Amino acid sequence: MLVSRELRKKNIAEYLLYMWQVEDLLRANELSLDKVKSNIVEPYALPDEQSGELLQWYANLIDMMHQEDVKEKGHLQINRNVIINLTDLHLRLLKSPKVPFYSAAYYKALPFIVEFRTKSDGRDKNELENCFDALYMVWMMKLQKRAINEETLNATAEIGKFISMLSLYFKEDEEGKLDLESEE
């Protein structure tokens, strides 16, 4: 909860990937609050107030996962909303002549996005969700110490650069510092 709050302020992409990991962590604990308490919360040995707050946060997420029927797969609406907001900004950035480097990063990553989409089950997803799926897959493989081929690492590096740039613009936009209007 504390991590998610900080990531949400600093880097929307890292926040989203973290929240996807939390969803998977809750699933690995069978959406059981008792298991979450013993396997996730108690090992932190937090003061009672923080421990209770963290446990309540996990309980709320578990309730939402049940209500939204994402118990086995899929993402919570709060996380899908992040993708929706990022997609909206992405489209605005592509239309703006003020950010040519963004368009260049996107078009450099696009062949890798398309390739990942065709190799995965991502045909029904938008491009940004495919990007996050690719980044999340590599992140999980690294955590599991699984081998990752160089082609995949190169592809996700380009996707990562593009998503990183989008995240920076997202922060600027949220702070009211992003001006995409033409000066004509």
The confidence band for 183, taking pLDDT boundaries of 50, 70 and 90, is low
Give the pLDDT confidence of 31-61 residue by residue, as tens digits: 999 999 999 999 988 999 999 999 999 999 9
Residue ranges of domains in the chain: 2-67, 79-174
- For the whole prediction, is pTM greater than 0.75? yes
Q: Once rounded to an integer, what is the mean pLDDT over residues 158-166?
A: 98
Neighbours of 112 (CB within 10 A): 21
Nearest to 19 by CA among 109, 81, 112: 81
Q: Residue 122 pLDDT more than 70?
A: no
Q: Once rounded to an integer, what is the mean pLDDT over residues 112-116?
A: 93
